[in-house]
Amino acid sequence: MAKRELPPATLAVAQAVAAVLPDGDVVVGCSGGADSTALALGAAWAAGRRGTRATAVIVDHGLQPRSGEIARQAAARLGAHGVDARIVPVHVAPSGEGLEAAAREARLAALADRGLPVLLGHTLDDQAETVLLGLLRGSGTRSLAGMAEVRGPFVRPLLALRRAETEQACRDWGVDWWCDPMNDDDAFARVRARGLLSEVAARLGRDVAPALARTASLARADADALDAMADAVETGDLPESARIAALEGLPDALRWRVLHRWMARLGVAAEQGNVLAVDALLTRWRGQGASRCPAGPFGASAPTCASPGVRAATSRARLCHVDATDVSQDLEKVLFTSDQIQARIDEVASQIDADYEGRDILLVGVLNGAVMVMSDLQRAMRSHVEMDWMAVSSYGAGTQSSGVVRILKDLNADLEGRDVIVVEDIIDTGLTLSYLMSNLASRGPASLEIMTMFRKPDAAQMEVPVKYVGFEIPNEFVVGYGLDYAGRYRNLRDVGTLAKHVYS
Ligand SMILES: O=P(O)(O)OC[C@H]1O[C@H](OP(=O)(O)OP(=O)(O)O)[C@H](O)[C@@H]1O
């Protein structure tokens, strides 16, 4: 058939195939539907002009009651139009990925079996559905990239054409096609996506498929470029600290890809939550401990991240496991870094030294929270200090003061005539210290003052005279540097606000 004899829709199909037709013979995957029937006819036309052969292969999955008959009818229709058509029966063994995926695997394997390029009949509408499904999967640029025009032996010449065009092309060629009832079966995600696209188009008053298909080609170009850049990141020969610095310096898009590959290689479930948890150890490490990730779907049952390779690659946090429960997810923001806290402790210690020049001081720490500040403060002081401890509790496992202060452990020291400074991690409502101060004042100290690392002025319910304050902070629940929530987070070096999802 000469080109000028082809009506517009058939010409569009034939030209689309001719534009990408590989040299030599090809196989055309054909289901008997309009898309692949038009593709087979277009390929036969284009191959004929080149003097090569296009053989339509109809894979019979044996999954529908009349599948053999349907395949024979499809072959006959093509044969009547001069297309060489073969039927290849396959056995579909259900796999963990579901029957649809297993059928697809078996089909592609059968089509590629001859070692020839394989043309597939996916259209722009299929591409739009694939992008929508990818968007809902939420795995980023790659999942928006849809189907590639060429991937391995598979070539998709019709990605720029609409389904309506392939149907029109079949009509123009005078060939009937098979309407697969599965295409209307809502049990399939793709069918539901198709319905959703029609609804979106109706609601917006415009066809959205072309925009989604354009998104696919833009996203594919971006994803290919970023993947190539991530492939080129090679930190293997660098010492650990340089390796960490090299990764830290990368933009998120590259660093996450590098971490994703590395975790996948170790058999760890490299879903984004886990990647971010590991990433936080690299880029936002503030003393949080190891992070544990479950093994990936094909990995061994236990995480393999305890290997020295894992530690070397990711962690100055001495990472030994990788986990989505990494505490960085539990913090909303860091208010004070360890360095800022230490610098402020030095200032307060100097001030106390100056105020108590020539006097011995008894520091009374309030367990448990004050352990860190007591330890750092006294080491920053030049004065002679003794220390003693009280244990009281008013918060228990919650984020609100119970208002009832209990002495869990009393002092060993006698306060009579002593210069006493009570050391606290935080004053919040003031209930704890207001109770404690009147209790301690009744024991006859020469002087009694308070040093607290943090104070929340907006939360005060009781006025407590505080001589030394590290930092005033907003009225938010904070953790780290001795401050806990339900016993956790005390060992973080920085102090940050606790994300609400942890306690709501
Ligand atoms: O000003 P307030 O509202 O009374 O809160 C301050 C108190 O709360 C915390 O103790 P917590 O009872 O939580 O025990 P902990 O030190 O063992 O964490 C903190 O260490 C203070 O002692």
| pLDDT of amino acid 106 | 93
Per-residue confidence (pLDDT) for residue 21, from 0 to 100: 94
**Which residues 6+ apart lie within 8 Å of 203 measured at CB?**
none
| 450 pLDDT more than 90 | yes
pLDDT of residue 285: 61
Residues with catalytic roles: 428
Number of H helices and number of E strands within the chain?
17, 15
DSSP category for residue 482: T
Give the integer Cα–Cα distance in Å for 371 and 484.
12
State the greatest distance between any 2 C-alpha atoms of the chain, in Å, as a whole number.
113
Rounded to 5 degrees, what are φ and ψ at 462? Answer: -125, 135
Q: Within 13 Å and on the Cβ side, how many CA atoms surround 289?
A: 8
Q: Is 482 annotated as a binding residue?
A: no
Residue 410 has pLDDT above 60, yes or no: yes
Q: Is the CB of 389 under 6 A from ligand 1?
A: no
383 is an annotated ligand-binding site residue: no
The pLDDT value given to residue 313: 37
Query: For all residues of the chain together, what is the average pLDDT?
Result: 86
Give yes or no for residue 366 CB within 6 A of ligand 1. Answer: yes
Q: Say what the ipTM of the complex is.
A: 0.96
- Nearest-atom index, ligand 1, CA of 430: 1
At 181 the pLDDT is 86
Q: Which atom of ligand 1 is nearest to the CA of 432?
A: 4
CA–CA gap between residue 429 and residue 5 (Å, rounded): 88
Alpha-carbon gap, residue 146 to 261, rounded angstroms: 20
Please, what CATH class does the domain formed by 2-221 belong to? alpha beta
- Take atom 16 of ligand 1 and give the residue whose Cα is closest: 369
What sign for the dihedral angle of Cα 468, 473, 478, 480? negative
Q: Higher-confidence residue: 318 or 67?
A: 67
Q: Which atom of ligand 1 is nearest to the CA of 483?
A: 18
Residue 262 is predicted with a pLDDT of 83
CA 280 to centroid of ligand 1, rounded, Å: 29
Residue 303 reports pLDDT greater than 70: no
Distance, in Å, from the CA atom of 187 to the CA atom of 178, rounded to the nearest integer, reads 20
DSSP letters of 283-344?
A: HS-SS----B-PBPTTS-SS--TTSHHHHHHH-SS---S-BTT-GGGGEEEEEE-HHHHHHH
Torsions phi, psi for 302 (to 5 deg): -100, 145
For the chain, domain boundaries: 2-221, 233-316, 330-503
Give 299's pLDDT tier (boundaries 50, 70, 90): very low
The verdict on whether omega for the bond into residue 368 sits within 30 degrees of 0, i.e. cis, is: yes
pLDDT of residue 30 exceeding 90: yes
Residue 436 near residue 423 (C-beta atoms within 8 A): no
Q: 432 in ligand 1 pocket by Cβ < 6 Å?
A: yes
Q: What is the pLDDT of residue 169?
A: 96
Task: Encode pLDDT of 220-252 as tens digits.
Answer: 999 999 999 998 887 666 665 667 778 888 999
CB of 401 within 6 A of ligand 1: the answer is yes
- What class has domain 330-503? alpha beta
- Give residue 46's pLDDT: 95
Q: Check whether 33 is labelled as a binding-site residue.
A: yes
- pTM for the model stands at 0.57
Who wins on pLDDT, 82 or 267? 82
- Once rounded to an integer, what is the mean pLDDT over residues 454-470? 93
Tell whether ligand 1 has an atom less than 6 A from the beta carbon of residue 429.
yes
256-298 confidence digits (pLDDT tens):
998 888 888 877 777 788 888 788 777 766 545 556 666 654 4
* Minimum CA distance residue for ligand 1 atom 5: 428
Atom number of ligand 1 nearest to Cα 464? 1
Alpha carbon separation from 286 to 242, 309, 362 (Å, rounded)? 19, 22, 31
* pLDDT at site 380: 96
Q: Is 304's C-beta closer than 6 angstroms to any atom of ligand 1?
A: no
Which ranges of 249-292 does DSSP label H, i.e. alpha helix?
Answer: 252-265, 272-283
> Given a cut of 70, is residue 449 above it in pLDDT?
yes
Q: How far apart are the first and last CA of the chain?
A: 72
Residue to mutate, 371, 389, 392, 395, ligand 1, most ligand atoms under 8 Å from C-beta: 395
8 Å CB contact between 296 and 267: yes
35 is in an annotated binding site: yes
Q: How far is the CA of 454 from the centre of ligand 1 (A)?
A: 11
Identical fold for domains 2-221 and 330-503, yes or no, is yes
pLDDT tier for residue 119 given thresholds of 50, 70 and 90: very high
Sign of CA dihedral 245, 250, 253, 257: negative
Residue 51 has pLDDT above 80, yes or no: yes
The most confident of the ranges 254-263, 414-423, 482-491 is: 414-423
Task: Report CA(483)–ligand 1 centroid distance (Å).
Answer: 8
Output the CA 405–ligand 1 centroid distance in Å: 9
The rounded Å distance from CA 339 to ligand 1 centre is: 23
Q: Looking at residues 296-322, what average pLDDT do you find?
A: 34
Whether ligand 1 lies within 6 angstroms of the CB of 482 is answered as: no
For the Cβ of 434 lying below 6 angstroms from any atom of ligand 1, the answer is no
Backbone phi, psi, residue 385, to 5°: -130, 145
Whose alpha carbon is nearest atom 17 of ligand 1? Answer: 368
Is the CB of 15 inside a 6 Å radius of any atom of ligand 1?
Answer: no
Residue 32 among known ligand-binding residues:
yes
